[in-house]
Structure 1
Amino acid sequence: MIKKELEIPFKTPYNTPPFSKIENEDYLPTIKAAINLAKKEIEAITNNPETPTFENTIEALEFSGEQLDRISSIFFNLNSAETNETIQKIAQEVSPLLSEFSNDITLNKALFARIKAVYNTKDTLDLTVEQQMLLDKKHKSFSRNGANLSAEKKEKLRTIDKKLSQLKLKFGENVLAETNKFEMLISNEEDLAGLPNGAIEAAKQLADSKGKDGWLFTLDYPSYIPFVTYSDNRALREKIALAAGSKAFKGDNLDNQNIVLEIVKLRHDRANLLGYKTHAHFVLEERMAETPKNVQNFLKELLEKAKPAAEIEFKKLQEFANDLDGIDTLQKWDGAYYAEKLKQKLYNLDDELLKPYFKLENVIQGSFAIANKLFDLNFEEIDTIDKYHEDVLTYKVTNNTGDLISIFYADFFPRAGKRNGAWMTSYKPQYIKDGENSRPHVSIVCNFTKPTKSKPSLLTFNEVTTLFHEFGHALHGMLANTTYPSLSGTSVYWDFVELPSQIMENWCYEKEALELFARHYETNDMIPMDLVEKIKESATFLEGMQTLRQLSFGLLDMSWHGTDPTSITNVKTHEANVFKSTSLYPDVESNCMSTAFSHIFQGGYSSGYYSYKWAEVLDADAFEYFKENGIFNKMVADKFKNNILSKGGTENPMTLYKQFRGKEPKPEALLRRAGLISK
């Protein structure tokens, strides 16, 4: 039985999640009841005596399980943004149930027979492009996930999927626990030398809140990043950097080494079971890149261009550190510190100079103003809908004629129940049913510097671009305008999904855009144009090293998923071998990237981390189009909105891109922007 308040549509404004009406103990029984309801819907499709048609089979399947989708999206979003031990325990119980239910659908012989019957007659059906895509996607979701397996192999697949769902959760829980566990309390004021006032004040506030005397630093990004970037105390930089680099790599109960090995081996077994050479072969079949070989060639091509530049940059950074402080061997905990010092010397620019112009509230309004100029969107903050935490901001998004486009949630500050990083998610997809265009509920979650007693939340420039990045994902979700939820918004090929997010970062470097929001939080003065020029000049600072770092992550991902991992017995040894082609700093024995690489072991980026660079090619090429015509050019913005943002996954992404740009993208635009080739 589903609790009355949790039945959909929710009896709330705009059908928004009734967070305050949900108790932790509601989740398990509600999800179980919703699974049973969805099973009945599947049975009705399977047992339909009528001849299978697109409408009674494919569309019926597409719109089944809505109650389950809504409540499980609430649950798992909170497990990332506002979790606790109870929710984590429920997640360990719920995940196998959902995995089992998913298998029940894809391994349902009678249901697949109906889908196959429609699929085999697709050439005789008068389907739209979107309907053709939905039919292909449904057919593939069955054939790619075991529908053609024998009964024995189907059971094996169920076992693997159940185990994987639990391991991924455990991996994430361990990383979060490790992040929350580390605290560095500084009691000697001299040890704060070099740190910005804002970081010192935030550390004092955190220590006070925990009843401790001194200044408290943690592995949360707004605490960690300023410390390794500005602290003059090399020993303390080393201490906090070693803690960050050794997350879930200590051989204790929070260690992820065996979990990593188990996950990659189970993924490989699963791929083999389904007839694929590796997990990457399975994943990339449904990506723009298509094959592991294409990904390796793509990464290799960029590596050849970036490595010489990175080595020159690293040598200059090493020489600078040596000249300044006699550091003869640059270590990982020195990189951000001396990079910041060198940037200040070369450009007379540092984040502390910029932060007063990037008050969080102003940056939010700036992103809204840019969305209005480009896509005719209006954002109105509302307090009539439920929130899951008091920090969350809620907005009603409309177009210029007042139509509801989306409900938007924004959650900006770190807390114990929230994982690190930044992401966009959805509480409800957009779709069209029974003539009604049901609008989406979209959320972005970040971990920015909190306001202190004396200062509002002032963002680093990197945090500004992060906000615009996640807001780009949000626009992709908000502006969705498709019939089917599984093709809506960000439901696109994984190596295409970063285009809308990464292109939005470009506006942060443009004078016309910065004038809309970059004002001093005390004087309201516009950001000086010489600072804007310095931001642009410094945009390619150490770009070779940054590119090499991103490529190293992509290569590590492919090494775990693009080959047979059964012979790998030591996570650290494997990782060190992969990093040989990209490493600049000496290796640190106690550190390991893989054990906290949540993107690929907890999130959805396995065999897909390369997509950040892939999408950078797309976004650099796409933004060149804007630059050629004006960064607020309505013709280009409309083409981007109508061919990319609103179309979701209804067509092949390259088809959509060419409809927008008129041609395929070329890597040269990215290499030019990065300063790795001449203009």
Structure 2
Amino acid sequence: MTNPFLAPSPLPFGYPDFGAIREEHYLPAFTAGMAEQRAEVAAIADNPEPPTFENTIVAMERSGETLRRVSAVFFALVASTSTPKLREIEAEVAPQLAAHNDAIRLDPKLFARIDDLFQRRDELGLDEEELRLLERYHRDGVRAGARLAPEQQERLRELNAEISKLTTEFNSRLLAEANDSAVHVTDAAQLDGLSADAIAAAEKAAADRGLDGYLITLVLPTEQPVLASLTDRELRARVHQAALSRGLRGNEHDTREIVRRLAALRAERAALLGYPHHAAWVAEPFTAESVENIDAMLGKLAPVAAANARAEAEELSAAAGHPITAADRAFHAEQVRRERFAVDTDALRPYFELERVLHEGVFRAAGLLYGVTFAERDDLPRYHPDQRIFDVADEDGPLGLYVLDPYARASKRGGAWMNSFVTQSHLRGTRPVVLNTLNIPKPPDGEPTLLTLDNVRTLFHEFGHALHGLFSDVRFPTFAGTAVPRDFVEFPSQVNEMWLDHPAVLPHYAVHHETGEPLPAEIVEKLAAARRFGEGFATTEYLAAALLDQAWHRLGPDEVVEDVERFEEAAIAAAGLAVPTAPPRYRSTYFQHVFGGGYSAAYYSYIWSEVLDADTVEWFGERAGDLRAAGEEFRRKLLARGGAVDPMAAYRAFRGRDPQIEPLLVRRGLLA
């Protein structure tokens, strides 16, 4: 059987041929792809001709096509449609890929050619994007250990392989633990407060696993959405405890030892590379540049946020008539919100039907701002029946494909994210194929998918990442789309959230799915008035996670953590964020961003990016009279440039000044 990864896909835009792809294709394709790229790199490194930008840097950009194809598909699917076989392949291939990347970055002959070009960079006549690419290759080589002694490089390879293996194992355990931790309910009366469609979804989830009754599945963060609606306090406590206990139950899915080991390995690697700790190594190439700058930002926010969260808890306790717990907070916050602002957010779900939100909300906003259109197609193969595929075009013609995978399932990890099956590059002649993956509970067949306000916000957010990928207009694949510093990548997606309640967008999608009535204007006004309600909690739970991440990754190589829970408690207390009703958004044992993803020492990125986001929302507000022109400027100066320009220089060129923090403080209720 021909392996579909060994040649470019024949489908439009290089969309993966899922009709031909089988699990048995992955390992041979990874093996062939790594061998192919090592041969290409060897040819570059051994080239007898003097190094030039074209025969070294451009040649590197062209290398690894097979590996790029199989990696893009495999890692998207192992997150969204995991199977035992895929997890087995991931465990086998992850350390191989780490070793493969090390072999390239630590190749002395290759780095000598890169270093030669770097030293002569002012003489080469390079344009801005070419010079930035050369500097990027040189910086990444140095940071990867290209200047270390051979015995140090050998240890570095060992560290990278073990880190890769453990992050893969963390994700595997977390998925299994999330499924095992779902709360089984046999008495329907306990589900009082949930909407009829939410109960139906819980019944379907139980049936899908061969259980009677109902199953409350868990989302990745600590606070579970159902806590805002359940009237049964005992069940709320069960659900909350199930969420908090993930990875801590002493079973085969326990992740504590992985957390401790990963922190230690990262600390050792940072020391080997000449940094005091992993957080310093991570911050250096980011827009933050140093942990001191990160501390300065978070330090401004933490004490005010914690004070607001404590005040909110006192207010909710008074309303409840008893001291509330973390499990109670969301429920009583919802009661107070309903009373104070006359808004029942759960009752709004009939106004947020998925199809209308997608077409008349998310797609409509993109059309108003950027002139893009979306046309669904059903002629391409899918990796799962829930998957949707859309052609994307603007006034100049086709842009690429947008893929949406909206529903939760047992084989999908929690959260929401964006992947690229294909990235844009003028060098390779490719256009983007991007994927948004969500975890919306799937209703029974024939029933509409009604979203919570948080679901709607998540869809707008992830679509912002998709636009970043779709609008990419760069020459080199290294810079395509979302290939920007981690503390900048959330900026475009957070900006896209502003269109959720924009007057040019909201009335078109917030329509009752049965009556056709629009969301009442007074409700819209009350939602706006209620926007800052609960921001003390939201900011505190986020900052607790961000500072917990920093604490783990500021350990030196000789600092040993004996007890994960005690370390976590001490770190949150030291940050001044020990608020009982606002536990961290992620505890260490299910902090997938940090111990299973790419956000180690970088979870601060969300609020760092939000400074730019809030400042940009203000900019759009000043240009409300011509959204199309404003959108085009934002697209051209920021979204299209990817990593081809310095992100903060691009921001200053766009905004005309440095970002200001005051709009963020006002938004989060941290400034009058």
Q: TM-score, normalised by structure 2?
A: 0.96
Are the equivalent residues in 2 in contact too, given 1:373–1:632 (CA < 8 A)?
A: no
Q: What pairs with 1:628-647 in structure 2 (closer than 5 Å)?
A: 628-630=622-624, 633-647=627-641
Q: Indicate which of 416, 423, 440 corresponds to 1:448.
A: 440
Residues 1:584 and 2:562 are matched in the alignment: no
Counterpart of 2:365? 370
Residues 1:462 and 2:454 are matched in the alignment: yes
Q: Distance in 1 between matches of 2:3 and 2:263?
A: 42
Counterpart of 1:390? 385
Distance 1:479 1:84, change over 3 A: same
Distance 1:147 1:222, change over 3 A: closer
| Post-superposition offset of 1:511 | 2.2
Q: Distance in 2 between matches of 1:353 and 1:4?
A: 50
Q: Distance in 2 between matches of 1:208 and 1:25?
A: 30
Counterpart of 2:525? 533
| Post-superposition offset of 1:378 | 0.8
Counterpart of 1:280? 279
Are the equivalent residues in 2 in contact too, given 1:28–1:94 (CA < 8 A)?
A: yes
| Post-superposition offset of 1:497 | 0.5
Q: Distance in 1 between matches of 2:476 and 2:351?
A: 42
Are the equivalent residues in 1 in contact too, given 2:256–2:589 (CA < 8 A)?
A: yes
Residues 1:480 and 2:472 are matched in the alignment: yes
1:567 is paired with a residue whose SS is coil
The percent of aligned pairs where both chains have the same amino acid is: 37
Instruction: Summarize deviations over 1:583-623 as a string: whole Å, max 9, x none.
Output: 2217999x981010001111111111111111111100001
Are the equivalent residues in 1 in contact too, given 2:537–2:582 (CA < 8 A)?
A: no
Q: What pairs with 1:231-630 in structure 2 (closer than 5 Å)?
A: 231-322=230-321, 327-328=322-323, 330-365=324-359, 366-401=361-396, 403-433=397-427, 436=429, 438-453=430-445, 455-564=447-556, 566-580=559-573, 581-585=576-580, 593-630=587-624
Are the equivalent residues in 2 in contact too, given 1:468–1:505 (CA < 8 A)?
A: yes
Are the equivalent residues in 2 in contact too, given 1:171–1:601 (CA < 8 A)?
A: yes
Counterpart of 1:132? 131
Q: Distance in 1 between matches of 2:365 and 2:92?
A: 43
**2:564 partner amino acid:** V
Which 10-residue stretch deviates more, 625-634 or 173-182? 625-634
1:516 is paired with a residue whose SS is helix
Q: Distance in 1 between matches of 2:229 and 2:254?
A: 30
Q: Distance in 1 between matches of 2:535 and 2:47?
A: 59
Distance 1:567 1:221, change over 3 A: closer
| Post-superposition offset of 1:632 | 5.5
Are the equivalent residues in 1 in contact too, given 2:182–2:242 (CA < 8 A)?
A: no
| Post-superposition offset of 1:236 | 1.2
**1:388 partner amino acid:** Y
Are the equivalent residues in 1 in contact too, given 2:264–2:560 (CA < 8 A)?
A: no
**2:386 partner amino acid:** D
Distance 1:576 1:222, change over 3 A: closer
Which 10-residue stretch deviates more, 478-487 or 173-182? 173-182
Which 10-residue stretch deviates more, 19-28 or 105-114? 19-28
Counterpart of 2:62? 63
Distance 1:99 1:340, change over 3 A: same
**2:516 partner amino acid:** N
Q: TM-score, normalised by structure 1?
A: 0.95
| Post-superposition offset of 1:414 | 0.6
Distance 1:226 1:455, change over 3 A: farther
Which 10-residue stretch deviates more, 7-16 or 48-57? 7-16
Which 10-residue stretch deviates more, 580-589 or 196-205? 580-589
Q: Distance in 2 between matches of 1:416 and 1:259?
A: 23
| Post-superposition offset of 1:352 | 2.4
**2:591 partner amino acid:** F
Counterpart of 2:212? 213
Q: What pairs with 1:127-166 in structure 2 (closer than 5 Å)?
A: 127-166=126-165
Q: Distance in 1 between matches of 2:78 and 2:90?
A: 8
Are the equivalent residues in 1 in contact too, given 2:203–2:214 (CA < 8 A)?
A: yes
Q: Distance in 2 between matches of 1:587 and 1:369?
A: 36
| Post-superposition offset of 1:224 | 8.4
**2:410 partner amino acid:** A
Q: Distance in 1 between matches of 2:655 and 2:130?
A: 25
Are the equivalent residues in 1 in contact too, given 2:541–2:582 (CA < 8 A)?
A: no
Residues 1:661 and 2:655 are matched in the alignment: yes
Are the equivalent residues in 2 in contact too, given 1:489–1:645 (CA < 8 A)?
A: yes
Counterpart of 2:111? 112
Are the equivalent residues in 2 in contact too, given 1:442–1:474 (CA < 8 A)?
A: yes
Counterpart of 2:43? 44
Are the equivalent residues in 1 in contact too, given 2:369–2:629 (CA < 8 A)?
A: no
Counterpart of 1:28? 27
1:665 is paired with a residue whose SS is coil
Which 10-residue stretch deviates more, 417-426 or 347-356? 347-356
**1:667 partner amino acid:** I
CA RMSD of aligned residues (A): 1.9
**Which ranges in structure 2 are unaligned for 5 or more consecutive residues?**
none
Q: Distance in 1 between matches of 2:394 and 2:407?
A: 28
**1:84 partner amino acid:** T
Are the equivalent residues in 2 in contact too, given 1:515–1:527 (CA < 8 A)?
A: yes
Are the equivalent residues in 2 in contact too, given 1:292–1:562 (CA < 8 A)?
A: no
2:421 is paired with a residue whose SS is strand
Distance 1:592 1:506, change over 3 A: closer
| Post-superposition offset of 1:319 | 1.4
1:599 is paired with a residue whose SS is helix
Which 10-residue stretch deviates more, 197-206 or 141-150? 197-206
Which 10-residue stretch deviates more, 337-346 or 557-566? 557-566
Counterpart of 2:73? 74
| Post-superposition offset of 1:254 | 1.0
**1:41 partner amino acid:** E
Q: Distance in 1 between matches of 2:336 and 2:127?
A: 56
Are the equivalent residues in 1 in contact too, given 2:329–2:581 (CA < 8 A)?
A: no
1:490 is paired with a residue whose SS is coil
Are the equivalent residues in 2 in contact too, given 1:511–1:532 (CA < 8 A)?
A: no
Instruction: Summarize deviations over 1:610-652 as a string: whole Å, max 9, x none.
Output: 1111111110000101111207523321221011100001111
| Post-superposition offset of 1:351 | 2.1
Query: Would you say how many aligned residue pairs link Structure 1 and Structure 2?
Result: 668
Are the equivalent residues in 1 in contact too, given 2:45–2:109 (CA < 8 A)?
A: yes
| Post-superposition offset of 1:221 | 6.8
Which 10-residue stretch deviates more, 533-542 or 220-229? 220-229
| Post-superposition offset of 1:178 | 0.7
**1:659 partner amino acid:** A
**1:363 partner amino acid:** V
Residues 1:673 and 2:667 are matched in the alignment: yes
Q: Distance in 2 between matches of 1:277 and 1:469?
A: 35
Q: Distance in 2 between matches of 1:210 and 1:150?
A: 54
1:447 is paired with a residue whose SS is strand
